[in-house]
Amino acid sequence: MPELSRADSHVKWQNKRKSKSFYTGIVADDLRSGVQILMQASGLGRMKPNILVMGFTNNWKSDNPSNMENYIGIIHDAFDFNYGICLLRMKEGLDISQTMQAHVDPEQGKKTIDICWLFDDGGLTLLIPYLLTCKKHWRNCKVRVFVAGQLNRGRGAESSLRQIRLNEILLDNSRDAALIVMTMPIGRRGECPSSLYMAWLETLSQNLRPPVMLIRGNQESVLTIYCQ
């Protein structure tokens, strides 16, 4: 089966990079069903993941509307299963269906990790950048935190203008960052159309040179007094 051969290539991709993880391939009728299965079945005992990481869908404007609905549905499903969410947007895209080589910028250690903290989500937006600095390629990066007001305050044009302004601020101040981490706004299920929600995310992250990681925790606190 072609699905199984692709799953085998993903396992080889993990093995080549000596990834320390539990992984398995599954076959599902569609992406959303497959993600639902993985979120319920993955992990070993208490060693169960609590964050879903996905790539940002760049072709949402031209893609089939049903695919966009499933994409947004996956985000809501993650919260239903008590997961946090990370959406990673990169200029070159994020596609592990092909064998990729890891590229590390030799100047990365001189750059910054910029956090745009919009509201409290349990602390995940702050924790992940800290964990990255524990890794070799990120340890010399300085972490900068920008605190902004909630983007979903106000309605219609007012909310959109806030998102545009925030994108302009990041374009001016974070163009040389190694990574931009931003609290991800969430549209209310059944009230915010999927196309409008994707337009919000597009406006926040468009034209930014560094990779952008949109993060939203599940509201459970992940920070303690022992974090330094």
Residue-level pLDDT, tens digit, the chain, 228 residues: 555 566 677 777 778 877 777 677 778 889 999 999 989 887 777 788 889 999 999 889 999 999 999 999 999 999 999 999 999 998 776 654 444 444 456 566 679 999 998 888 888 999 999 999 998 888 899 999 988 766 655 565 666 778 888 889 999 999 999 999 999 988 888 788 898 899 989 999 999 999 999 999 987 777 765 555
**Half-sphere exposure for 56 (CA within 13 Å, toward CB):** 25
- pTM of whole model > 0.85? no
The strand pairing partners of 199, in sequence order, are none
What tokens were used for 70?
């499933």
Q: For residue 85, give every residue at least 6 positions away whose Cβ sits within 8 Å of its Cβ, in sequence order, or none.
A: 51, 52, 54, 75, 78, 79, 184, 214, 215, 216
């569609």: which residue's tokens?
30
Across the beta sheet with 179-183, what order do the strands follow? 51-55, 84-89, 212-216, 179-183, 112-117, 142-147
**H or E stretch at 89:** strand 84-89
